[in-house]
Chain A
């Protein structure tokens, strides 16, 4: 038969056990409740003193002391419960208001991002139209005042570009303000589109024509993002990623007949 060797545990090891700590507290409470009264109640009282009498000739009986302690304990318990309950209600209220605020921020961010990207799409279209107007003036005769028309269209173009950059800045501001409530995937997608659009600017070709580089790709990217932002639900507070179905041919027109410059 195996013999178990009992070793003394250090006091601090005992202190780590919650059951031991609870037992010590209960023992202290019981001892503190009964012992003084047993000791004080052991003195000679008047023979007429009853169990619940208390006066000049009658000490507090242990039973009455216990009852008083219980009443005091119960009152304290009720008082602490009231304080705890009040704090809990306050905490619940704070948590609920924070949650409401968070939801409102998320609703606002989703809504605002959708509007801003729709505005981006619109501004890109306007820019494209301005480019088309500008290109119409290239090659005009001097008597048709092409310089004046070009300068007017150019100023419109610059205005549209500035508007686009302001819209993108607003998008970035919303991302900064709401990145703690938005889904990281959504933040990353929005940032990706912002990075892409931020690098795009209207370019003038060698023949004097203006061009919006990668316009189709920009439209597609913004379209995808708007598609995602439109799936936002206030019930679930989430976005639903969509996938084209069935898979069709490309919406972007690849270059159909690039001249083959082949080395033989």
Chain B
């Protein structure tokens, strides 16, 4: 008899799959205000024939199953002008409330510098909760933000890749 995969359980006589989702944005998003800005998303990886166990709408990642979640985000950071080192911060927001200890900072020196800052967090989330990635920069004069890059002969580099996996 084949063993049931650990990722699947039988709750109430029906299959229960742990939720997962991968979200990207192919749009460059520069910060134009000193207030925190939500990162927008425009694509979700399809898996298992278009099955989406997590939704998204613009910048909101919407959880459909309650549980403990691992969230990993990799934003591609850069700026347009200036040679002064400038910081850019990214953090998580759940239900419009900033998540403590989720903030990360990257410092960009010049426009040639491209950095991927990794943000990761484990959070208990309920069905209907929304998760956002929020960013803020030191200045709005130098065009800091997330950059999508399309190199020749290679896949597009999204401005952000977010992976969300249900742990339990």
Contact = CB atoms under 8 A, between A and B. Distances in A.
Interface SS majority for chain B: loop
B56 interface: yes
B15 to A, nearest CB: 8
A264 B26 CA distance: 12
B22 interface: no
Q: Which of A244, A255, A259 has the most CB of B within 10 A?
A: A255
Contacts of A247: 17, 51-53
Interface SS majority for chain A: loop
B161 to A, nearest CB: 15
A176 interface: no
B150 A243 contact: no
Contacts of B77: none
Contact of A221 (B26, B28, B53, B130): B130
Given A199-B96, A259-B27, A221 B57 contact: no
Given A228-B127, A247-B17, A262 B156 contact: yes
B60 A193 contact: no
Contacts of A200: 96
B95 interface: yes
Contact of A254 (B44, B50, B126, B156): B44
Interface stretch (B61-69, B82-90, B102-110, B133-141): B61-69
A208 interface: no
Interface string A188-225: 11001101101110000000000000101100110011
The 6 closest A-B pairs by CB, nearest first: A224-B128, A199-B96, A192-B95, A252-B57, A258-B42, A262-B150
